[in-house]
Amino acid sequence: MTGRLIIASNRTAAPGEARAGGLAVALADALSERGGGVWFGWSGDIVEREPRGAHVFTEDGVEFALADLTQAEYDGYYLGYANRALWPVFHYRIDLAQFEEADFAAYEAVNRRFGRLLAQFTRPEDVVWIHDYHFLLLGQEMRASGWSGPIGFFLHIPFPAPEVFSSLPQHQRLARAMAAFDLLGFQTDRDTANFRRYLIDTHGGELLEDGRIAVFDRVLTAKTFSIGIDPDDFAALALGDEARAAAERVGGIIDNRALVLGVDRMDYSKGLPQRMEAFGRVLDDNPDLRGRSSFLQIAPPSREAVDAYQALRVELDRLTGRINADYADLDWVPIRYLARGYPRETLAGLYRLARVALVTPLHDGMNLVAKEFVAAQDPEDPGVLVLSEFAGAAEQMPTSLLVNPHDIAGLAEAIHRALLMPLEERRERWQAMDASIRETTIAWWRHAFLEALDTTRPDA
């Protein structure tokens, strides 16, 4: 028997909000395919007093249950533990992590309140799908509230090596809570292996013959479900009027020079300073390329209240100013750095225009920019993807130019090679990547996860 789907994510695509991006559409489609369900998350509102319930709206048979946060909860749960502790540790930046007991207490309290709220919306035949690092404790809190049905969890960011995860003072508490999930999905085989190894090495977990893990008196499944995009949809987007207009506008500015493109949130995990230094190294070492290529970096700010992000903004401003001062001419600026976001239609046009895309995070769960760039290309004259070996997409796209983003000289060499790569090689590399992104699309991802979750039912 297939019941309703109950989804929990930090933010939802509630009625009246645009569903930009493939994930929001995929989750909405999953709810629709199940004949309705519940999508639970934070409302985005901050209130003075702790709310007791949730705001409920209904659209197309789906209930949206939205809970508010107080300022103290937002500061401790969201800005604090989620983004000053979990985010840096999961991205291997222990040096930037802040381990405040009060922040974890707020994180625990919000997960407890949200778990109790969410349990009230469930029926015995339902299945629950919880998303991302904001809700690592949510499954256990639902169990404590009496929910005994299937709970799946998907982590959208990397799961670090055991010795890195163990740097969290509360790692044992988090692990026991994560064991309340029946199915845990990760972006890459490396992430899945890290989680399994942590449970086995640290907590004496036993890997069973069927691949499940027995730990903390429970049996759970940890498996890789690499998230994807809708390649046909994005390819069509790249040929639309808005995309063409954006490409023509930028093409006119760079005056037919080769476009090197980066599109990332302004986040220290994305390797933005290293990328700018590498492009500067290309200009240092190759005078013949000066004036023949332009680097456009789009980096909308995120989590500006966190100190590490403010420092990153200062560093990017400094690097851009230095490189442009050294090499700009009257009719050419080497780097255009735009600290603002653009619609998907605009980005699709820029991807198609670009000769080289730099997707070089220091660590990333998957990175769908890499897949969108591939989908947007002209098959007859495709651009080149320079991809970090620490992005989840690297497991699926070995014919990209794989780089270590910490190696500035190696990254500069890859950019140089990409700019000069012959057409035949560009086509061969692109064809292999295009085939890869069509194997694990966003539709495949949701179907594969939910089919696996359904098998955890006692009656399956």
Q: Which residues are part of the catalytic machinery?
A: 156, 364
Alpha carbons 264 and 267: distance in angstroms, whole number:
8
Sort residue 440 into left (φ over 0), alpha (ψ -120 to 50) or beta: beta
Amino acid at position 151, single letter: I
CB contact at 8 A, 205 and 175? no
DSSP assignment letter at 269: G
- A 10 A CB-CB count for 359 gives 30
- A 10 A CB-CB count for 307 gives 11
Alpha carbons 284 and 272: distance in angstroms, whole number:
18
Alpha carbons 301 and 341: distance in angstroms, whole number:
8
Alpha carbons 39 and 359: distance in angstroms, whole number:
32
Alpha carbons 206 and 209: distance in angstroms, whole number:
10
131: helix, strand or coil? strand
Give every CB contact of residue 109 below 8 A, 6+ residues apart in sequence.
73, 77
Alpha carbons 385 and 396: distance in angstroms, whole number:
13
Give every CB contact of residue 378 below 8 A, 6+ residues apart in sequence.
352
- What Rg, from alpha-carbon coordinates, does the chain have? 23
Which H/E stretch holds residue 206? strand 206-207
